[in-house]
Structure 1
Amino acid sequence: MGRTIIRPGTEPMNRRSLLLATPALLLARPVLAQGAYPARPVRMVVPWPPGQATDLMARVAGQQVAAQWGQAVIPENKAGAGGMIGTDAVAKAPPDGYTILAASTGPITTAPLVQRTPYDPEKDFAPVAMIGISPYVLTVTNNFPARTAEEFIKVVKASPGKFTYASSGTGAAAHLITLMWLNRAGLMDTVHVPFQGSGPALTAVMAGQVDFAIDTLAATGPLVRQGG
């Protein structure tokens, strides 16, 4: 289970405010103290496809916030570039409090460490509150010849280079956590197949296009309960 803490900003009126969760982050623009807020519906940008853990958590949080505000919170999935497209859209939106962003740790903590991003997560956003935590789960195809972690390791070690795994995107939290686990288990001789979000990645596992994936319980749980 990962936990990410972003240093609070000291100038909230000049920076985007952020509702922090792990693995989901809810990022909001600062609310100007001019009249009642919100006076109209609020747009919530989710930089991942529907079904991804961030999407699921953000929609639940959005419903709760909408009930408290008395105004609709309208989700808008804006996927691509490991969550950076949606994150950048919010960074460039008018700072009026009517655009918020639900983002995973990838575009806020991981991406800026390994590449240049069109936004500065420390200057453009500041934390407000945590909204959720989810553990990660190893999922395999229904016909995979193993049903425990120990059996899984033996099977994969016996056939180097044969097995493929899906992730929600190169450099995403799920990808890095998968690499960490594979490294510890001595299973680095596997093939990575990146997708744009947890939904497409887990769908590929269910369809047998890839052999396994490690993703959040929030994303995998509903599929497992449905018999996927």
Structure 2
Amino acid sequence: MRRSSPALLAAACAVVSFAAFAQTYPAKPIRIVVPYAAGGATDTYARVYGRKFTEAWGQQVIVDNRPGAGGNVGAAVAAKSSPDGYTILLNTSGLAIAPALYRKLSYDPVKELQPVVMLTRGVYVFAVPPSLAAGSLRELIALAKAQPGKLNFGSTGIGSGPHLAGELFRSLAKIDIVHIPYKGDSALTPALLANEVQMSFLPSQAAMPLVKSGKLRPLGVASGSRSAFLPEVPTVMEAGVPGYELSTWAGLFVPAGTPRDIVQKISAEGVRMLKAPDVQKILVGWGVEGIGMGVEQFEVRYRADVEKYARLVREARIPQVD
């Protein structure tokens, strides 16, 4: 009769221990780290999701707001936490931009964070003022090619999502347009309405009222499929720029090394709660779509986005931030 080695016995005990831990999870309060200030969209989502986790699991969920450094303060707090499932990070696609945009980070967004579930997708609307002589995306591209360096595109700041969306458009459409950064939506939108800039990628919740009132003309949505909120507007890819896709998202992450069973349990509950009518109502109010992308798909998407943004930042020669 062969004797089991101490190493094998230790490994077997570890497997049993992890399995038992996952079965009893959660056994204490859970913290959701939000890397932005209280009162914004991400904070609102966290409180809604926290309530749903409590209803499902009977454990208190605490929202811990850790704003600063473009979301990197909170992300670092989560990344350095114990990988036991009791710290969850709710973050946006800005997390995938961070490795390319920031010269020094105190954490590794790829190696130290495990994607769990993509909860929502936000759509950028490519809009122009009605006074611009371009009724379609193809006409706009033709206009830009006829006047290289004369048309401007606005964004909410250097390295922002709308900036990178514009850089991707410039690259794939092979046109020469000039980037004009503004300090947030509140400054960008009036400039676009006044034709100070001729085009911009706006978040759908900001664009929809202006589109529906006729103050802006939508030429496309930046996502890979049409938006449920503006189904009559084609994607940028459909409208004439093959290969174009760039959308925002919000999702849950845990520290790397969290037991896979716990990761899957959090993911499954995240997918389930998106179907609740009260959650759907809130998402519609914010102009975002519930997605419910599971662990494996989200892992692939997250890493692809990190690579895409790194390429865009490099090709557009966007200066890194300290």
Secondary structure, aligned partner of 1:133: strand
- Where does residue 67 of structure 1 map in the other structure? 51
Q: Structure 1 residues 200, 42: CA separation in 2 closer, same or farther (over 3 Å shift)?
A: farther
- Where does residue 37 of structure 1 map in the other structure? 29
Secondary structure, aligned partner of 1:132: strand
- Where does residue 167 of structure 1 map in the other structure? 155
- Where does residue 15 of structure 1 map in the other structure? none
| CA displacement at 1:191 relative to structure 2 | 1.1
**Following superposition of structure 1 onto structure 2, how do residues 1-228 of structure 1 map, counting pairs within 5 Å?**
36-38=28-30, 44-46=34-36, 56=41, 58=42, 61-68=45-52, 69=54, 78=67, 84-92=69-77, 95=81, 100-104=89-93, 106=94, 108-113=95-100, 115-118=102-105, 119-188=107-176, 190-197=177-184, 200-228=187-215
- Where does residue 25 of structure 1 map in the other structure? none
| CA displacement at 1:181 relative to structure 2 | 1.9
State which drifts further: 210-219 or 193-202: 193-202
Q: Structure 1 residues 191, 75: CA separation in 2 closer, same or farther (over 3 Å shift)?
A: farther
| CA displacement at 1:153 relative to structure 2 | 1.8
State which drifts further: 153-162 or 58-67: 58-67
Q: Percent same amino acid at aligned positions?
A: 26
Q: Which runs of 5+ in 1 are unaligned?
A: 1-32
Give yes or no for contact 1:46–1:101 (8 Å, CA) kept in 2.
no
Look at both structures and tell me which one has the larger radius of gyration over its CA atoms. Answer: 2
Give yes or no for contact 2:34–2:65 (8 Å, CA) kept in 1.
yes
| CA displacement at 1:113 relative to structure 2 | 3.5
State which drifts further: 63-72 or 122-131: 63-72
Scaled by the length of structure 1, the TM-score of the pair is: 0.59
How many residue pairs get aligned? The number is: 181
| CA displacement at 1:125 relative to structure 2 | 2.0
* Deviations, residues 66-122 of structure 1 (Å, cap 9, x unaligned): 33136687696947xxxx432224413784857844332x4x333313652323102
Q: How far apart in 1 are the matches of 2:201 and 2:165?
A: 8
Q: How far apart in 2 are the matches of 1:73 and 1:201?
A: 35
Secondary structure, aligned partner of 1:129: strand
Q: Structure 1 residues 64, 182: CA separation in 2 closer, same or farther (over 3 Å shift)?
A: same
Q: How far apart in 1 are the matches of 2:181 and 2:72?
A: 19
Q: Which amino acid aligns with 1:37?
A: P
Q: Which amino acid aligns with 1:61?
A: Y
Q: Which runs of 5+ in 2 are unaligned?
A: 1-24, 216-322
Q: How far apart in 2 are the matches of 1:199 and 1:77?
A: 24
Q: Which amino acid aligns with 2:51?
A: A
Q: Structure 1 residues 114, 77: CA separation in 2 closer, same or farther (over 3 Å shift)?
A: closer
Q: How far apart in 2 are the matches of 1:144 and 1:121?
A: 41
Q: How far apart in 1 are the matches of 2:118 and 2:90?
A: 14
Q: Structure 1 residues 90, 139: CA separation in 2 closer, same or farther (over 3 Å shift)?
A: same
| CA displacement at 1:192 relative to structure 2 | 0.5
Q: Structure 1 residues 60, 117: CA separation in 2 closer, same or farther (over 3 Å shift)?
A: same
The answer to which structure has the higher helix fraction is 2
